[in-house]
Amino acid sequence: MHIVDGALSAPVLVSGAVLAIVGVFIGLKKMDYDQLPLVGVLASVFFIASYIHLPLGFSSVHLIMNGLLGILLGWVAFPALLVALLLQVVFFGFGGLLVLGVNTLNIALPAVIVYYLCYRGVRHESAKVAAIWGAIGGASAIVLTSIMVAFSLALSGESFVLAAKAVLPAHIPIMVVEAFVSYAAVYLIHTVKPEFITKESI
Amino acid sequence: MSKLEHSLTSWSGQALKHQPSLIDGIDARVRIVCAGLFALVVVSSVAFLPALLGLLLAFFLVKMAKLNIKRTLRRVVAMDLFMLTLICILPFTTPGDPMFTLFGLAASWQGLAHALLITIKANAVLLVLFSLVATMSASTLGHALAHLKMPNKLVHLLLFMVRYLDVISLEYKKMRRAMQARAFVLGCDRHTWQSIGYLFGMLLIRSVERAERILGAMKCRGFCGRLYLNDEMKITLSDRFFGLIFFCFLILLIGLNIDAT
């Protein structure tokens, strides 16, 4: 999921960075200082989600959960994910420094799209219906992210097209897992603390 | 897989463990700017020589920062395992002089060279980041970024995250231990996914409740939406010296690149 430094071409890097900066800027505009603790804590939860490695056949996948983050945070997902990815690259060596913009865009833009897609559905009064929307959000965020990763690779050169084509099928298992996990998470939140999800989001 | 640092087992909320070194004495801002410029120059290299020299400098800095070599290499190797797939794919997809053919597909030298170049660049950037930036504590990183004119809210977000990653990861571990005590084992079935979903949902709820308490407690202490960064960062002579040498090296790399084109 994290693209490393050196693989992408300069135009892709620059346009990714510019778009990510625009997204971060919009996110920061929408966020008050009062919401900082909430956003910081939620971003940390999603950072922790990537610790969770689920076994899958011979290997394992880790959760990304950008769909659910988008549903909760909307545009604020941009700054939250930028900071999370920055900490991951500096202290864990995930991804790269110059591709930070592209990586942020690839994960945060699907989150924002899912926010607009599932905003109403997740706030449905029936827990089951809301959970199904949560699952749709979780799965479609992964689909969108993998499409964007594939595009950023394919746009960087002819030789990456095969790798780009491999990205999509590789993400299908993660998509299925993420849909189930999101379903359960939304269902639980709806049952235990409905006001958290039904109140106006940030 | 569990032996690799890559699998993100915990967030210590601190700098990488290392012995005190010369690097620690250098101003945080100088280190960040140097690492950033280094990444820019190395990633835009077109030839092998500057990229290799960059990697050499990266090894030198790792040595100078007295990082634990074994642990550092383990992190980098995790990434290189991923790069290995790239090295396997690229020779077949890049047109050029054939190296060998496999099932009727020709592997080209150019593809291999491209894959190796990417590997060198990615490793060099990561090693420099580890030795220059990851050796400072995460909150110093936040303060330095604030002094480098990063937007205020973003810095605040970083500082909050650095603090709460620790707290929430403890919460997560506590809940996982409770699940283990009830004989829960991760598998590849719906039961696992549902349980992990519940775990995640519960983590979210607890964290949001915690965030409300944090805000309350901070307001009670007069928090008006701003943390004061009252540490003074001063550029000393040794910072200038380090910056100058680093800069000269980067100029050399740029020169080599221009020469290669």
Mutate to test the interface with A, among B62, B75, B193 (most CBs of A within 10 A): B193
pLDDT at residue A126 tops 70 = yes
Work out the minimum CA distance from A38 to partner chain B, whole angstroms.
Answer: 5
Confidence of residue A58 (pLDDT cuts 50, 70, 90): low
- H or E segment to which residue B98 belongs: strand B98-102
The pLDDT of residue B6: 35
Average confidence (pLDDT) over B131-148? 87
Average confidence (pLDDT) over B131-152? 88
Work out the minimum CA distance from B43 to partner chain A, whole angstroms.
Answer: 5
> Which region among A73-82, B74-83, B172-181, B232-241 has the lowest average model confidence (pLDDT)?
B74-83
**Contact assignment for B225 to A82 by CB distance below 8 Å:** no
d(CA B141, CA B135): 10
Average confidence (pLDDT) over A101-122? 92
* Exposure string for B186-208, b = 16+ CB within 10 A, e = fewer: beeeeebbbbbbbbbbbbbbbbb
Q: Is residue A72 part of a domain?
A: yes
Average confidence (pLDDT) over B47-65? 90
To the nearest whole number, what is the mean pLDDT of chain B? 83
- Residue B35: name the closest of B26, B25, B47 by CA: B26
Tell me which residue has tokens 């007069």.
B222
The pLDDT of residue B15: 61
DSSP state of B97: S
Neighbours of A11 (CB within 10 A): 10
The pLDDT of residue B113: 85
pLDDT at residue B234 tops 90 = no
Nearest to A31 among B36, B153, B196 (CB): B153
B84-123 residue pLDDT tens: 777 777 777 777 776 776 666 677 788 888 888 888 998 9
To the nearest whole number, what is the mean pLDDT of chain A? 87
Cβ neighbours for B177, distance < 8 A, ≥ 6 positions apart: none
B214-227 residue pLDDT tens: 888 888 888 776 77
The pLDDT of residue B2: 36
d(CA A130, CA A184): 10
Number of compact structural domains in chain A = 1
Domain ranges of chain B: 5-137+233-260, 151-220
Confidence of residue A143 (pLDDT cuts 50, 70, 90): very high
Average confidence (pLDDT) over B39-63? 91
pLDDT at residue A92 tops 90 = no
pLDDT at residue B57 tops 70 = yes
d(CA B58, CA B61): 5
Average confidence (pLDDT) over A177-190? 92
Report the share of chain B in percent with pLDDT over 70: 89
Q: Is residue A1 part of a domain?
A: no
Most confident of A7-11, A42-46, A142-146, B254-258: A142-146
Both tokens of residue B8?
């993100």
Looking at beta carbons, which residues of chain A come within 8 Å of B93? 158-163
pLDDT at residue B187 tops 60 = yes
The pLDDT of residue A183: 94
**Contact assignment for A44 to B8 by CB distance below 8 Å:** no
> Which region among A44-48, A135-139, A174-178, B2-6 has the lowest average model confidence (pLDDT)?
B2-6
Interchain CB contact of A130 with B (< 8 Å): no
Confidence of residue A18 (pLDDT cuts 50, 70, 90): very high
Work out the minimum CA distance from B26 to partner chain A, whole angstroms.
Answer: 18
DSSP state of B11: -
Interchain CB contact of A165 with B (< 8 Å): no
- Domain CATH number, residue A155: 1.10.1760.20
**Contact assignment for A92 to B122 by CB distance below 8 Å:** no
Q: Whole domain around residue A142: which residue ranges?
A: 10-198
The pLDDT of residue B47: 87
Which sign does the torsion angle of CA B82, B86, B89, B91 carry?
negative
Confidence of residue B1 (pLDDT cuts 50, 70, 90): very low
- H or E segment to which residue B54 belongs: helix B48-64
Give whole-number Cα distances, A118 to A33, A187, B202, B229, in Å: 26, 14, 21, 39
Give whole-number Cα distances, B46 to A89, A95, B30, B254, in Å: 24, 20, 26, 10
Q: Is residue A3 part of a domain?
A: no
For chain A positions 11-50, those within 8 Å of chain B (CB to CB) are 24, 28, 31-34, 36-45, 47-50
The pLDDT of residue A64: 86
pLDDT at residue B3 tops 50 = no
- What DSSP assignment string belongs to A10-41? HHHHHHHHHHHHHHHHHHHHH--GGGHHHHHH
Q: Is residue A153 part of a domain?
A: yes
